[in-house]
A and B are shown apart, each in its own frame.
Chain A
């Protein structure tokens, strides 16, 4: 009954569970169901110990990708390698990957402790050391006092912790989590985000985390893969996605933004309706494009005097007072919407709805994306 080739046998003595983060690589991994393609050739490359989040709308292929990494689905084509080993066709139970499921999937007939001991026993670890290490894992998720309870006697957050402990107790090189916090309320989710990050850092495994909650992705990840219609649109750090989105989808999905349609002229001038910037897109092909503006880089003024950069004439269509800043929704003469966040200190007497204003921004703050 013993499965070999796992590091679960080298019992830890330091009082901590510790895994050697694995390197994960997906090359051209593709999966279709009948006629519909769920995942088009995805490439991912994770450093050992990295925390990667797959973020994207419903049905964009996140779970499908995760299931191919876990081995529940076989890709139509492409290669999955873990620590340099091709595991594309390895059955799930031989992969040495820990997984946390959305509804935890704790075995209802086993106590919390027995659930956590399960993967160790499957690997032929003797009962006594399995027990010791399971207790250690439960300690790491601060649940030692509830070890004897059955899953149904635990709250959602507690079940989540057990599921987490069960996934890392055998010190896998890679941890997969598919919307592990989806079933929890917002407050608990925020607590658990911090908890998961702490535990993952302590254990040291490489992590692939799936969510469709943008804030969760931004908080937790080293890098984020933004999914859309079965493609990875962009793979970057949270900052990179926000500052340098490469597609309008990413720009719209990560953070608030305004999008103004425009034309790139030969030579790099960008011309929109009611505004233009000189030579800001020199390396782009001429043609239709979109200007992306983050709300905090837009200032609102009474008139155009003294505006150095770009500006467009607009009327205030809505004002929201949000404590630290004022949020404006402005309507340009061409009917496009511009959002602006102005710190309260810079707007002691905010403009009222219907006021005629000028929205201004520095040329370098605008991101021009080709269609």
Chain B
């Protein structure tokens, strides 16, 4: 008879515990959002969808969601354009390339508060604080490194011979980029786009500095409401966002499977 090694069992147990710890706290908001108790975090016997009708009926949430969506889409578009072009240039391996690549990662390691203060100072001068444009620019700074990293990974796999072939067939730089380079690094571009979208969608620190009453994003609105009244509407919102990101994640997985 073979015995199951104790180490194997222990490993299993730890893995399961870590998994639970990662997921369960997030899932807690689901029952909270359907519970009748009007204090967030307390569950009682009756169940309701009242918090969802509150959420979807409140113009403040709707405005914040619309702002967030516009900013996230703007950030995705701008950072994809700049990031893909940058990754293309960096893939040529010029002397200063590695230096620039390093510098482009700075926003990841710099504390968001510092970035927020800096952005605020600059955008104030340009009269862009409190505008969607200003926040798109700021979020692009944050999202760009993720795009560059993920598109660069695709470029690393790309045989430079395709570009040469396109060149010999008469394609100029613009034509090569649109007709050959982008289609071939598309997986990295899609992944980078998702990263960029999520970066902007979730971002709160810089957004607090740069938004005013009319341009609040969802995270900012959540934060402000949480400071005044903690209602289960927040749990409803959390559940909705959770559902949304789950769908996005699944989509990404499916995409990846298609590719291979």
Interface residues of chain A, those whose CB is within 8 Å of chain B, are 1, 3, 6, 70-72, 91-99, 101, 103, 105-109, 118-119, 122-123, 166-167, 170, 176
Whether a CB of chain A sits under 8 angstroms from the CB of B250 is: no
Whether B169 and A166, one on each chain, are in contact in the complex, defined by CB atoms closer than 8 angstroms, is: yes
27 A-B residue pairs with Cβ-Cβ distance under 8 Å, sorted by A, are A1-B174, A1-B175, A3-B170, A70-B168, A71-B167, A92-B164, A92-B167, A93-B168, A93-B171, A94-B170, A95-B168, A99-B165, A99-B168, A101-B164, A105-B161, A107-B184, A118-B169, A118-B179, A119-B169, A122-B166, A122-B169, A122-B172, A166-B169, A167-B168, A167-B169, A170-B170, A176-B168
Main secondary structure of the interface of B (DSSP, over half): helix
Whether A98 and B168, one on each chain, are in contact in the complex, defined by CB atoms closer than 8 angstroms, is: yes
B178 to chain A: closest CB distance in Å?
10
Whether B170 and A107, one on each chain, are in contact in the complex, defined by CB atoms closer than 8 angstroms, is: no
Closest to B172 in A: A93
**A-chain residues with CB within 8 Å of residue B164 when the two chains form the complex:** 72, 92, 101, 105
Known A-B contacts A109-B183, A122-B175; A103 and B161 likewise in contact (beta carbons under 8 Å) = yes
Whether a CB of chain A sits under 8 angstroms from the CB of B180 is: yes
Whether a CB of chain A sits under 8 angstroms from the CB of B47 is: no
Whether B162 and A107, one on each chain, are in contact in the complex, defined by CB atoms closer than 8 angstroms, is: yes
**A-chain residues with CB within 8 Å of residue B167 when the two chains form the complex:** 71-72, 91-93
Closest to B175 in A: A122
A317 and B91 CA atoms in complex are apart in Å by: 58
Give B150-178 as 1s and 0s: 1 = Cβ < 8 Å from A's Cβ atoms: 00000000010110111111111011000
Closest to A103 in B: B161
Whether A123 and B175, one on each chain, are in contact in the complex, defined by CB atoms closer than 8 angstroms, is: no
Known A-B contacts A1-B175, A101-B161, A122-B175; A107 and B168 likewise in contact (beta carbons under 8 Å) = no
Task: With A97-B168, A119-B170 given, name 10 new contacts (CB 8 A).
Answer: A3-B172, A6-B170, A93-B171, A93-B172, A96-B170, A98-B168, A106-B165, A107-B165, A118-B166, A176-B168
Whether A122 and B171, one on each chain, are in contact in the complex, defined by CB atoms closer than 8 angstroms, is: yes
**B-chain residues with CB within 8 Å of residue A98 when the two chains form the complex:** 168-169
**A-chain residues with CB within 8 Å of residue B162 when the two chains form the complex:** 105, 107
Give B5-23 as 1s and 0s: 1 = Cβ < 8 Å from A's Cβ atoms: 0000000000000000000
**A-chain residues with CB within 8 Å of residue B169 when the two chains form the complex:** 93, 98, 118-119, 122, 166-167, 170
A99 and B169 CA atoms in complex are apart in Å by: 8
B35 to chain A: closest CB distance in Å?
51
When A and B form their complex, what is the total count of cross-chain residue pairs whose Cβ atoms lie within 8 Å? 67
Known A-B contacts A118-B179, A122-B175; A105 and B165 likewise in contact (beta carbons under 8 Å) = yes
**B-chain residues with CB within 8 Å of residue A176 when the two chains form the complex:** 168
Whether A108 and B184, one on each chain, are in contact in the complex, defined by CB atoms closer than 8 angstroms, is: yes
Query: Nearest 8 A-B pairs (CB), nearest first?
Result: A119-B169, A105-B165, A122-B170, A99-B168, A92-B167, A105-B161, A109-B183, A122-B171
A279 to chain B: closest CB distance in Å?
54
Quick one: which of B155-214 are within 8 Å of A by CB? 159, 161-162, 164-172, 174-175, 179-180, 183-184
A176 and B168 CA atoms in complex are apart in Å by: 10
**A-chain residues with CB within 8 Å of residue B166 when the two chains form the complex:** 93, 107, 118, 122
Indicate the member of A94, A99, A118 with the most B CB atoms within 10 Å.
A118
Known A-B contacts A107-B180, A118-B179, A122-B175; A93 and B165 likewise in contact (beta carbons under 8 Å) = no
A275 and B170 CA atoms in complex are apart in Å by: 61
A166 and B165 CA atoms in complex are apart in Å by: 10
Whether A101 and B165, one on each chain, are in contact in the complex, defined by CB atoms closer than 8 angstroms, is: yes
A70 and B161 CA atoms in complex are apart in Å by: 13
A324 to chain B: closest CB distance in Å?
43
Closest to B183 in A: A109
Indicate the member of B161, B165, B166, B174 with the most A CB atoms within 10 Å.
B165
Closest to B173 in A: A93
Whether A109 and B171, one on each chain, are in contact in the complex, defined by CB atoms closer than 8 angstroms, is: no
Closest to A72 in B: B164
A167 and B168 CA atoms in complex are apart in Å by: 9
A130 to chain B: closest CB distance in Å?
12
Whether A123 and B170, one on each chain, are in contact in the complex, defined by CB atoms closer than 8 angstroms, is: yes
A97 and B168 CA atoms in complex are apart in Å by: 7
A96 and B170 CA atoms in complex are apart in Å by: 7
B185 to chain A: closest CB distance in Å?
11
**A-chain residues with CB within 8 Å of residue B170 when the two chains form the complex:** 3, 6, 93-94, 96, 119, 122-123, 170
**B-chain residues with CB within 8 Å of residue A170 when the two chains form the complex:** 169-170
Closest to A118 in B: B169
A92 and B169 CA atoms in complex are apart in Å by: 8
A307 and B170 CA atoms in complex are apart in Å by: 64
A105 and B158 CA atoms in complex are apart in Å by: 11
A299 and B169 CA atoms in complex are apart in Å by: 54
Quick one: which of B109-163 are within 8 Å of A by CB? 159, 161-162
A118 and B159 CA atoms in complex are apart in Å by: 18
Closest to A95 in B: B168
Closest to B167 in A: A92
A91 and B172 CA atoms in complex are apart in Å by: 9
A119 and B162 CA atoms in complex are apart in Å by: 13
B219 to chain A: closest CB distance in Å?
38
**B-chain residues with CB within 8 Å of residue A3 when the two chains form the complex:** 170, 172
Quick one: which of B203-250 are within 8 Å of A by CB? none
Indicate the member of A103, A122, A170 with the most B CB atoms within 10 Å.
A122
A176 and B164 CA atoms in complex are apart in Å by: 13
